[in-house]
């Protein structure tokens, strides 16, 4: 994915919300609401029900153009259109941890703290203001003596982004974050602060794909290009520390447990593989060494102990290393060295342990099957299409039609 600037304002996609107010045959006030857009930027829209005071209370899934809308959860609710930014993405904010991120819209949990909620509960602070103003505008339209058409001009909102001018009413924009990734499990886009997170659509953590797909390969590249093997071993150890820390951080935050355990795990450094394994097995029934032979576990254990020597003793053997490792091939104060092959082997073992932890974690926190199954079915469909085309690659058709939604 191309590099982009962080924390950049991304303009609203523009468009118009149109309220058409008239009287029915019974003389009572009624309205239709429609959303339309004609700007040449990606645009998407979803809708929610809000109380007429402007408080979002439910998602409003719209089947297709012309399909009837589901009944509001309470009478008198107002349908509100929330449109995307000019990249077709929506901003969201977690009601629990208050952090912000962007996705294409099918959100079900916070990528940072893992809190589950309905989409309308994840509206950002700026979007909530928009919803309130929207409801006020509709209320004004309904209170007017005359029938008529009332427009919320989001094109003006889009045009004002990035300009040092007084912003129009209804103004809001989204903001790019630091890590953009497509979830490997469900294919959905996420743009999050930091680097490691849950996919906010299906709940799969991205740490494993980061470790497997970019962190470890980068270290292996360095190693193959002649970087000092002991430095690479240290980097692999730190990457694994970070990895385990992300999962245990979520576990201690979201699982009930005795405070002593929470504190122990919070402070745990992962140079002691035996202790780490015991803690994860005892606390969460996750065996990070599942499928590893005793010899492989011994190799991994020693690699972590050697990493400790590089980090804390400049590579010279100390008494702790002699005691813990039982390594009889070296003497006190002797400098130890690594081989390229040995460090690659350590990387292999670390990846296997990481996969074990990821699998065990998601056995506890099961990702949402719906999004993942849809993605799998879509991949199968595209593969079948490619086979039909005799193996020629084919870009899936892009829907360029501008959405136009209306309802009553
Ligand atoms: Zn959160
Ligand atoms: Zn996902």
In three-state form (DSSP H/G/I as H, E/B as E, the rest C), the secondary structure along 337-357 is: CCCHHHHHHHHHHHHHHHHHH
CA of 231 to the centre of ligand 1 (A): 35
Tell me the ligand closest to 190's alpha carbon.
Answer: 2
**Domain-terminating residue out of 201, 231, 252:** 201
Which has the minimum average pLDDT: 1-5, 18-22, 276-280? 1-5
Q: How far apart are CA 354 and CA 221, in angstroms?
A: 20
pLDDT above 80: residue 4: no
373 belongs to a structural domain: no
Contacts of 275 (CB under 8 A, 6+ apart): 268
- pLDDT band for position 216 (cuts 50, 70, 90): very high
The reply to whether 344 falls in a domain is yes
Ligand showing the shortest atom-to-Cα distance for residue 117: 1
Within 8 A by CB and 6+ apart from 187, the residues are: 375, 378, 379
pLDDT at 364 over 70: yes
Average pLDDT over residues 116-130: 96
Give the pLDDT of residue 243. Answer: 96
Distance 81 CA to ligand 1 centre (A): 24
| Mean pLDDT value across the chain | 92
- Looking at all shown ligands, the one closest to residue 186's CA atom is 2
Cα-to-centroid distance, 365 and ligand 2 (Å):
13
103 forms beta bridges with 90, 190
For the stretch 88-111, pLDDT in tens is 999 999 999 999 999 998 999 999
The ligand with the least distance to the CA atom of 108 is: 2
pLDDT tens per residue across span 277-288: 999 999 999 999
Distance 193 CA to ligand 2 centre (A): 17
How much is the pLDDT for 267? 83
Whether residue 393 is contained in a domain is answered as no
Which ligand number lies closest to the CA of residue 369? 2
Indicate which ligand has the atom closest to the C-alpha of 367.
2
Are 192 and 252 members of one domain?
no
Q: Are 79 and 102 in contact (CB under 8 A)?
A: no
Q: What is the pLDDT of residues 309-325, one digit of tens each?
A: 999 999 999 999 999 99
Does residue 370 lie in a domain region? no
Arithmetic mean of pLDDT, 208-216: 98
Give the ligand at the shortest distance from the Cα of 103: 2
Nearest ligand, CA 111: 1
Say how many Å lie between the CA of residue 210 and the centre of ligand 2.
Answer: 14
- Round to whole Å and give the CA distance between 1 and 41: 20
Ligand 2 centroid to Cα of residue 269, in Å, is: 29
What average pLDDT does the segment 372-397 reach?
Answer: 82
The string of pLDDT tens digits covering residues 126-179 is 999 999 999 999 999 999 989 999 999 999 999 999 999 999 989 999 999 999
Let me know whether 189 and 282 are in one domain. Answer: no
Between 90 and 68, the higher pLDDT residue? 90
Residue 291 CA to ligand 2 centre (angstroms): 27
More confident residue, 362 or 72: 362
Residue 265: per-residue pLDDT: 87
pLDDT at 393: 53
Å from CA of 192 to ligand 2 middle = 13
Which-ligand-closest: CA of 183? Answer: 2
Residues 104 and 239 in one domain: no
The residue range of the domain holding 110 is 9-201
2 has a pLDDT exceeding 60: no
Ligand nearest to the CA of residue 98, numbered in listed order: 1
Inside any domain, residue 249:
yes
Instruction: Note the Cα 83 to chain centre separation in Å.
Output: 20
CA dihedral 238, 240, 246, 252 (to 10 degrees): -100
Could you tell me if 280 and 351 lie in one domain? yes
- What is the H or E stretch that residue 80 is in? strand 78-83
Task: Verify that 244 and 344 share a domain, yes or no.
Answer: yes
Taking the centre of ligand 1 as the mean of its atom positions, its distance from the CA of residue 95, in whole angstroms, is 7
pTM: predicted TM-score of the whole model, two decimal places: 0.91
Same domain, 164 and 275: no
**Amino acid 299: pLDDT:** 96
Characterize 83-118 residue by residue with b for buried, 16 or more Cβ atoms within 10 angstroms of its Cβ, and e for exposed.
bbbbbebbbbbbeeeebbbbbbbbbbbbbbbbeeee
How does pLDDT run across 391-400, given as a tens digit for each residue? 665 555 444 4
Same domain? For 102 and 247 the reply is no
Question: Of 208 and 389, which is predicted with more confidence?
Answer: 208
Ligand that lies nearest to the alpha carbon of residue 104, given by its number in the listed order: 2
Task: Tell me what pLDDT residue 28 has.
Answer: 87
Query: In this structure, are 104 and 25 located in the same domain?
Result: yes
- pLDDT at residue 406, as a whole number: 55
367 CA to centre of ligand 1 in angstroms:
16
pLDDT at res. 137: 95
Q: Which-ligand-closest: CA of 205?
A: 2
Residue 231 tokens read as 């430095």
Structure tokens at 318: 């100390």
pLDDT of 402? 47
Same domain? For 248 and 158 the reply is no
Please report the pLDDT score of residue 98 as a whole number. Answer: 97
Distance in Å, CA 83 to ligand 2 centroid: 22
Ligand nearest to the CA of 206: 2
CA of 162 to the centre of ligand 1 (A): 28
Where is the domain boundary, 182, 201, 220? 201
* Per-residue model confidence as pLDDT tens digits over 166-197: 999 899 999 999 999 999 999 999 999 999 99
**Together in a domain, 92 and 214:** no
Between the CA of 181 and the centroid of ligand 2 the distance, in Å, is 10
Position 388 in a domain: no
pLDDT at 69: 84
User: Would residue 34 count as lying in a domain?
Assistant: yes
In angstroms, what is the span from residue 35 Cα to ligand 2's centroid? 29
> What pLDDT does residue 3 have?
58
How many domains are contained in the chain?
Answer: 2
Distance of CA 168 to the CA centre of its chain: 31
**Once rounded to an integer, what is the mean pLDDT over residues 30-58?**
94
Q: Are residues 150 and 243 in the same domain?
A: no
Rounded distance from Cα 369 to ligand 2 centre (Å): 10
376 in a domain, yes or no? no
Same domain for 17 and 136, yes or no, is yes
Structure tokens at 385: 């299409």
Helices (H), 49-205: 125-143, 154-160
SS3 category, 91: strand
- CA 18 / ligand 1 centre spacing (Å): 34
Alpha carbon of 110 to ligand 1 centroid (Å): 5
Per-range mean pLDDT, top range of 58-67, 327-336, 387-396, 398-407? 327-336
Decide if pLDDT at 401 tops 60.
Answer: no
**Nearest ligand, measured from the Cα of 122:** 1
Residue 65 has φ and ψ, to the nearest 5°, of: -65, 125
């Amino acid at each position: 994915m191309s590099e982009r600037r962080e924390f950049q304002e991304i303009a609203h996609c523009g468009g118009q919300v149109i309220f058409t107010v008239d009287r029915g045959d019974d003389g009572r006030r009624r309205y239709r609401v429609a959303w339309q857009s004609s700007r040449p930027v990606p645009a998407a829209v979803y809708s929610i029900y809000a109380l007429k005071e402007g408080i979002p209370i439910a998602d409003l899934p719209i089947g297709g153009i012309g399909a009837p809308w589901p009944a509001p959860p309470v009478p008198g609710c107002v349908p509100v259109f929330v449109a995307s930014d000019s990249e077709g993405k929506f901003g969201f904010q977690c009601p629990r941890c208050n952090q912000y991120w962007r996705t294409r819209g099918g959100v079900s949990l916070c990528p940072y703290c893992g809190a589950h909620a309905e989409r309308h509960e994840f509206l950002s602070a700026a979007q909530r203001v928009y919803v309130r103003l929207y409801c006020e505008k509709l209320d004004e339209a309904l209170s007017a003596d005359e029938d008529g058409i009332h427009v919320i001009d989001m094109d003006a909102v889009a045009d004002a982004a990035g300009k040092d001018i007084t912003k129009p009413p209804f103004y809001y924009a989204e903001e790019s974050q630091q890590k953009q990734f497509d979830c490997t499990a469900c294919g959905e886009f996420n743009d999050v602060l930091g680097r490691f997170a849950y996919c906010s659509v299906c709940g799969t953590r991205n740490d494993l794909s980061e470790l497997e797909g970019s962190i470890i390969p980068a270290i292996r590249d360095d190693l193959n290009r002649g970087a000092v093997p002991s430095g690479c071993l240290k980097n692999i150890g730190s990457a694994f520390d970070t990895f385990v820390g992300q999962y245990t951080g979520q576990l201690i935050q979201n699982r009930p447990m005795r405070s002593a355990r929470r504190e122990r795990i919070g402070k745990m450094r992962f140079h002691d593989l035996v202790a780490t394994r015991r803690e994860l097995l005892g606390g969460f029934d996750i065996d990070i060494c599942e499928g590893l032979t005793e010899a492989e576990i011994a190799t991994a254990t020693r690699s972590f102990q050697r990493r400790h020597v590089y980090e804390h003793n400049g590579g010279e053997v100390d008494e702790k290393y002699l005691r813990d490792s039982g390594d009889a091939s070296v003497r006190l104060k002797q400098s130890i060295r690594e081989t390229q092959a040995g460090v690659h082997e350590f990387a292999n073992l670390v990846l296997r342990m990481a996969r074990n932890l990821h699998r065990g974690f998601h056995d506890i926190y099961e990702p949402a099957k719906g999004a993942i199954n849809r993605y799998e079915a879509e991949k199968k469909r595209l593969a079948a299409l490619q086979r039909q085309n005799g193996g020629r690659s084919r870009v899936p058709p892009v829907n360029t039609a501008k959405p136009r939604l209306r309802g009553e």
